[in-house]
């Protein structure tokens, strides 16, 4: 009496344990979207971070580098997290090693 006829008709189907296959197929697009997202965005980003970390670890005295701020200079001293960069003769700045975005070929700066 208190239950509407529409609810009473659908209640046994819902309580009867819906098809397992239909629930899996409804989740398939979500799983595929995550897989595409992983291979298109997450994996390349992780690879790029790994390459940048390797470049930072391989920095040595005398390397010519470009920083994230656009400064070009020659590494004069390297510490664990910081480095000294010579921008011009007699002009040195101390920067974080992680700010290096590119190592230039030797002889690029003159």
Dump pLDDT digits (tens) for 12-54: 555 545 578 888 888 999 999 999 999 999 999 999 999 999 9
CA distance 29 to 24: 10
DSSP summary character for residue 19: -
> Does residue 94 lie in a domain region?
yes
- CA-closest candidate to residue 63, choices 76, 51, 50, 52: 76
CA distance 82 to 86: 13
> Does residue 6 lie in a domain region?
no
Are 104 and 72 in contact by the 8 Å Cβ rule? The answer is yes
Are 102 and 96 in contact by the 8 Å Cβ rule? The answer is no
Predicted structure pTM score:
0.67
- Same domain (yes/no): 48, 64: no
Domain count, the chain: 2
**33 lies in which domain range?**
18-55
């Amino acid at each position: 009496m208190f239950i509407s006829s529409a609810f009473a008709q659908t209640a046994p189907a819902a309580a009867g344990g819906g098809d397992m296959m239909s629930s899996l197929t409804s989740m398939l697009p979500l799983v595929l979207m995550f897989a595409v997202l992983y291979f298109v965005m997450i994996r390349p980003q992780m690879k790029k971070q790994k390459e940048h970390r390797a470049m930072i670890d391989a920095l040595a005295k005398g390397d010519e580098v470009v920083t994230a701020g656009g400064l070009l200079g020659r590494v004069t001293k390297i510490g664990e997290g910081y480095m000294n960069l010579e921008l011009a003769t007699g002009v040195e700045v101390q920067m974080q090693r992680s700010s290096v975005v590119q190592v230039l070929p030797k002889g690029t700066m003159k």
